[in-house]
Structure 1
Amino acid sequence: MVEQMREVAKYCIIDALSCQRLIVKCNVINIYRELVTIAFLPLFDAYYFVRGLENKHPITGLDFASLYPSLIMTYNLSPDKIILSQKHTEQSGKKLHKISFKFKDQNILIWSIQHNNLPKEKALYANVLEYLFAKQNEIKKCFASLKEKKENMELVIASIVYMNPFYSTARDSRSPFFLRELAGSVTSAGQKNIKLIADFIKSREISMGEIEKLRDEINDFLRKDNGSPYLKMAYEKVLFL
């Protein structure tokens, strides 16, 4: 019995060390350290569990491309462009996007100032994310040569990774960028657009061979709905159920 327990412990240690070696080889700790430095969050909060690996039945589908960053850019969601009271909406003289959502059974009503695709009207968050998207595209083009150079890559990769949880800085009370109304406006806009596209797809009979065509139709529909090129569907992805 003791020998069996020792054997089990031995392989548990091997598994644990293998994970550690993999983390070191992939430079995970340094990348996430740079990420939390940018986000002003604890290192613990930068890690997340991957779910779905135990599932074995693949299907194809469409997903939004960087949904939350795209919503922030589309609706100009940023502390410097958020209006919290109706009195100030009348004084703004700007075209506004109305946002409403529930928080602790209370109706929250705020407004964001629309940018109308004019650079000078774009908010701080929208400008930062647009810059990061441009960097991401730039790196994709030259990634073949960059991937062999490990020095100074942590900050670049962290900046790209940071785009997706960007809005979470607004909902984290420990962050200097905490603004509950902003976080709520991002998630409510996400729910609205997901439902919008779900209804759009239900109104059409689509076969699996038409997914690429459907993606293009949805992107045209989104551009007409919100007047911005930011919010779009990604190419078909493989999911496991």
Structure 2
Amino acid sequence: MKDLYPKVLEELLIRRNLLKRRLALLNDKKEELEKKINLAEERGIVVTDTLKSKYSSVVFNIAYLDVKHLTLKVYINTFYDEAENILASGIILAGQQNIKLIANLVRSKRFSVKYENTDFLYFVCLEECFQKCDKIYDNDNGISKEKYWSRMVNISMEVIERFRDKVNDFFRNNNESSYLKMMYEEVLFSVVFTEKKKYYSISHKKDVLKETINVISQIDLNGVVKTAMWKSDKNNKSI
């Protein structure tokens, strides 16, 4: 029979995961509605009040659930911090050790690690992953930068998804258990790391969003770190 402390943490975690799933569904719905609105505006069609109302409702619900989700996160962390015992420090230490193992694995495969923390890792794909992309881009003489960036992000997603499986195989062999797994969460383009635990970026989790690519095209990207797909063009200029 479980004691009160693990019961509380388990219940809070279940609630938080439920909110995360609901948020994911709402964000998908928001993207779908945004595409419909953008398409209507591009065609010069008046966006109906019904569509506007649906979009506003979804945005409101996302904001509402996000607040609840963050509140639960703070609540869980408060319980965890108050423990101040061997269990808490042991979990942190184990997390750090496993991330270091994966960081070393990433480097052994010639990927470049840009940022690592207790429970996550950002790295850059190999140059050869983008060779076909480079050829059809040809220093802006081929496909547009928008399409070039889009393909690079999509390539990064495919490469990282495959590498995730190798990482989990490594965990299974190293820990002699399939309990611990690492998930692929996102590709950041572009991203700026300012200091530890502080960075800002545009996150791509499924498809490359043309709206964000359009925003990127208005930014001077020279000197900006592009993770997980930073690279230079043939003239050694930041793309």
TM-score bracket for this pair, using the shorter chain length = 0.3 to 0.5
Higher relative contact order (CA 8 A, sep 6+): 1
TM-score scaled to structure 1, two decimals?
0.35
